[in-house]
A = this chain, B = another copy of it.
Amino acid sequence: MRTEGRAKRLPRAVRERQIMDAAVDVFSRLGFHAASMDEISEVAGISKPMLYAYLGSKEELFATCIRREATRMMEAIATGVEPEQEPDVQLWSGLRAFFGFVGENRASWQVLHRQASTQGGPFAAELADMRGRAVSLVAALLTQSTKAPATKLEAESLAAALVGAGESLAEWWLDHPEEPAGVVAARLMNLVWMGFGDLVEGNVWHPPSRR
C-alpha cells in the first residue's frame, strides 16, 4: 500500500506489464468511459505522465489491452485442442479450454467482451477479428465432420451461432460464478451437440471414457 513518495526504479518492460495488468483490472471493473487514467496509474503504482509516456492515450491503452487479452485467450484454446481427434471430442476440448480460460481470467474476459463490444470504433473491430478467428476454427471442425452436403456458408453461420452461444454463456456465467467451469462447458456441449429434442428424451452426450 504505497500512498506517497517515489516509485522504485524499474526497467521499462516490467513497468509496462504492471501498467497493462492494472489497466485490464480497472477497465474490467469500471468500463472504458468510467475508468480514469488517474485510477489506472494509481493501481499501477506510478504517476500519470508515466502512463502517457509508455502506453500513449487512453484509447491506445485500451486497444492494447484488448489485443493482449485476445491473444492470450486464443492461445489457451489452441493449446487445449488436438486436431487429430474426433470432431465431438475436439469441440469438447475447445469448450473446456475456453471456459477454463474465462474462469481463471474473469477480468480479461470482461474487458475483452463486455467492454470492447460496447465501445464502438476500432475496439469492436479488434474484437470482431478475434471472433472471426474463433468462428473459422469451429467452421473447419464442422466441415471436416459433416457427411451431409452442407455448404461452406451454412457451416460458417452455424459456427457463428455456436461461438455466440459460448460467448453468451460465458457472459451469463459472470453473473453466476458458483458453477464450476466443467459443468458450464458440459451444458453447452450437450445443448449444441444433442439439442433439446434429444435431451428431453433423456439422450445425453458424454465424453469417450476418462480423459
Closest partner residue, chain B, to A191 (CB atom): B161
Which stretch in A42-50, A59-67, A71-79, A113-121 binds the other chain? A113-121
CB-defined contacts of A147 to chain B, threshold 8 Å:
200-202
Label chain A's interface by main secondary structure: helix
The 22 listed contacts between A and B (C-beta, < 8 Å) are A31-B118, A31-B119, A33-B34, A88-B197, A91-B196, A114-B118, A115-B118, A145-B200, A146-B200, A147-B202, A148-B201, A148-B202, A158-B196, A161-B169, A161-B188, A164-B172, A165-B168, A167-B168, A168-B171, A192-B192, A195-B197, A197-B198
Measured in the bound complex, the distance between the Cα atoms of B33 and A114 in whole Å is 15
A133 within 8 A of B: no
B165 and A169 contacting across the interface, CB-CB below 8 Å = yes
In the complex with contacts A165-B168, A168-B168, A195-B194, A200-B148 CB distance below 8 A: yes
B interface footprint on A140-166 (CB within 8 Å = 1, 0 otherwise): 001001111110000001101110110
A104 within 8 A of B: no
Instruction: List 7 tightest A-B contacts by C-beta distance, closest first.
Output: A168-B168, A195-B195, A148-B202, A33-B33, A164-B168, A165-B165, A194-B195
A133 nearest CB across to chain B (Å): 15
A84 within 8 A of B: no
